[in-house]
Amino acid sequence: MMIYSRNILSLIFLILISCTATKMGKKEEVISLEQSYMANFKEEPLKDWESGKMFICVTEELPSLLEENLQNISNPENSGIKGEIFKYKGLKEEQTWSGVQTFLLYEYANQEYKYKVSKPLSDILNSEFKPLLPELVSLDYIQKADSLLKGKELYIKTPNWYNKDGVETKGQKYVLITIVEVSAGNKIFPLSIKFKTIGGDEYSVYTTMYKPLTTSQYSTFDKIFTFTNPKNKYPQIKDEIWQYITQSKVTLGMTKDECKISIGLPNKVNQLPEYSGLRERWYYNTGTYLEFKDGLLVNFRQM
């Protein structure tokens, strides 16, 4: 009986230790300030859309999914409509040759446009279904992002900027910028964020404030901007080296980590044994290659 009691006590003790260790080992998810901004944005399911909800067209031509349901496709109003407002009017079921179909109704220039959805009306009204029509961006979404971000100072993490003519250009990363305005983006990214550099030049980037479906989506707001100076994470990096990093460049004497921060991970790595040590070559698909000896950059070609 004594042995049995001791076994029970030992089992309880082991369970308590296991539970304590699990709690101690479990890391709480830390939400960044950038992610907290994104938490303000949630895509409304179609059932919650109100009649009169407005959308901005982000393409010059009328969305093809709407064109399929037009009675007058040759309407001259159907081209050069980027920036025009389409007003949502509601849902409608119609009898077609293939059966009952559900349509979203839009109005533009006193004309009605229809977009066919794949779900029956009853399913839409009882689900979180969100239609995909990337050419039309909600005006409320744009205005909310603009009100939250306009005038804010942030650090930009991508050098892929667009100039005032919409042409992609090579900018800097990890530098301080000020948000000028948020406007309609394009079919891929619904928001265009215009910003001003310390020198006063204006550029823009495309992004979304919606939570990404996968962690690999690199163009969401939290992947492009940060409220915290990235240099604070690397106090060991000298200021003169940091200047090269902000320009996505390398220079002799940089460490492997500094090169990774500046231009990213290589696509291929070769190690070359020598009498005096080990050389390592990094190759990139762009044609750039880096050569290291004793962990420092001794030769490179950057494209």
Same domain, 184 and 220: yes
Helices (H), the chain: 2-25, 33-38, 64-67, 121-125, 139-149, 221-224, 239-246, 256-263
107 closest CA partner among 61, 55, 59: 55
- Strands laid side by side in the 153-156 sheet: 168-170, 160-162, 202-207, 191-197, 175-184, 153-156, 225-226
Q: What is the pLDDT of residue 9?
A: 45
Per-residue pLDDT band for 69 (boundaries 50, 70, 90) equals: low
Per-residue pLDDT band for 238 (boundaries 50, 70, 90) equals: very high
Mean pLDDT of the chain: 86
Calculate mean pLDDT across residues 242-260.
97
Encode pLDDT of 21-61 as tens digits: 444 445 566 788 998 999 999 999 999 999 999 999 999 98
Hunting for tokens 């992002």 — which residue is that?
145
Q: How far is CA 170 from CA 97, 207, 251, in A?
A: 53, 17, 18
**Could you say which of 102, 137, 172 is where a domain stops?**
137
**pLDDT: is 153 or 23 the higher one?**
153
* Residue 170 included in any domain: yes
Position 190, amino acid: P
Q: What is the pLDDT of residue 13?
A: 44
Q: What is the model's pTM? A: 0.81
Calculate mean pLDDT across residues 141-163.
97
Tell me the Cα Rg of the chain: 27
What percentage of the chain has pLDDT greater than the value 90? Answer: 66
Calculate mean pLDDT across residues 201-211.
94
Residue 279 has pLDDT above 60, yes or no: yes
Q: Look at the alpha carbons of 89, 94, 97, 99 in this order and tell me if their dihedral is positive or negative.
A: positive
* Residue 237 included in any domain: no
**Could you say which of 87, 105, 137 is where a domain stops?**
137
Q: How many CA atoms lie within 13 A of 240 on its CB side?
A: 4
CA-CA-CA-CA dihedral for 27, 33, 39, 41, to nearest 10: -160
Q: What is the pLDDT of residue 15?
A: 46
* Residue 1 included in any domain: no
**Could you say which of 137, 152, 168 is where a domain stops?**
137
Close Cβ partners of 222 (under 8 Å, ≥ 6 residues apart): 32, 34, 35, 37, 38
Residue 271 has pLDDT above 50, yes or no: yes
Q: What is the pLDDT of residue 257?
A: 97
Domain interval for residue 276:
250-301
